[in-house]
């Protein structure tokens, strides 16, 4: 026999009066402002035709793709914590595809924050590590820091990103800006060359780095 429902077990008694902490509930009541702060606001997925992040990324890569709708998708999923969506949101903002009402300084700051968040999340997003390294190298959205930029170029390189390899190699090999380390520079430049990166191949020829 199923248990009696809470409604029937109270035989009409006021649930509020029977609450063990009824005396304190009034003091904990939420104000209208508190209620608004605690309410969640789920994105309106209909504004981008219920597109997934993967589908939006295909729109991005397709000639004459609907970039406006794709950005709405990236923006919505970025707010829900999706790392791929955050990357594309940062990309769109940094390339003036979206949020063009913001100043360049504001766009660069937002993009840098998003690229860093994705870059630091794990090692599965080397493109974000590369792009945040570029933000640091150029001082876009963050204070210029070559030393920090190299760290992110190396992260990207170690995760297979060929431009990260080239950038890290260039800085280590030539020195000047950072402490020179030709051995490390050659290592990363060779990695890039082995991936058939033409500028890396030309660099190796120029500086007699054997392949």
pLDDT at 113 over 80: yes
Q: Between residues 106 and 19, which one has the greater pLDDT?
A: 106
Is pLDDT at 198 greater than 80 in this prediction?
Answer: yes
The pTM of the full predicted model, rounded to 2 decimals, is 0.78
- The answer to whether 73 and 85 have CB atoms below 8 angstroms apart is yes
Span 21-58, pLDDT tens digits: 555 455 567 778 877 778 766 667 777 777 899 999 88
Helix (H) / strand (E) element for 185: namely helix 182-194
Distant-in-sequence, close-in-space partners of 119: CB < 8 Å, separation ≥ 6: 125, 128, 129, 131, 132, 152, 155
Taking all residues of the chain, what is their mean pLDDT, rounded to a whole number?
87
Name the pLDDT band for 131 (thresholds 50, 70, 90): very high
Please answer whether residues 188 and 204 qualify as being in contact, where contact means their C-beta atoms are separated by less than 8 angstroms: no
pLDDT computed for residue 12 by the predictor: 47
What is the C-alpha separation between 157 and 153, in angstroms, rounded? 6
Query: Coil, strand or helix: which one is 154?
Result: helix
């Amino acid at each position: 026999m199923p248990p009696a429902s809470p409604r029937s077990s109270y035989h009409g008694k006021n649930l509020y009066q029977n609450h063990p902490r009824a005396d304190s509930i009034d003091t904990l009541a939420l104000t209208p402002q508190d209620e608004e702060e605690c309410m969640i606001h789920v994105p309106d997925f209909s504004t981008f035709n219920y597109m997934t992040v993967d589908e939006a990324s295909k729109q991005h890569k397709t000639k004459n793709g609907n970039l406006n709708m794709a950005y709405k998708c990236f923006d919505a999923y970025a707010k829900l914590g999706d790392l791929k969506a955050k990357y594309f949101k940062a990309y769109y903002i940094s390339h003036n595809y979206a949020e063009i009402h913001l100043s360049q300084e504001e766009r660069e700051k937002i993009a840098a924050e998003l690229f860093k968040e994705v870059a630091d999340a794990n090692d599965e997003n080397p493109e974000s590590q590369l792009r945040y390294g570029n933000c640091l190298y150029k001082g876009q959205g963050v204070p210029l820091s070559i030393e920090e930029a190299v760290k992110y170029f190396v992260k990207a390189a170690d995760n297979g990103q060929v431009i990260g390899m080239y950038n890290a190699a260039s800085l280590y090999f030539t020195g000047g800006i950072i402490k020179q380390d030709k051995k490390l520079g050659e290592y990363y430049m060779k990695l890039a060359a082995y991936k058939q990166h033409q500028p890396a191949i030309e660099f190796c020829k120029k500086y007699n780095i054997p392949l």
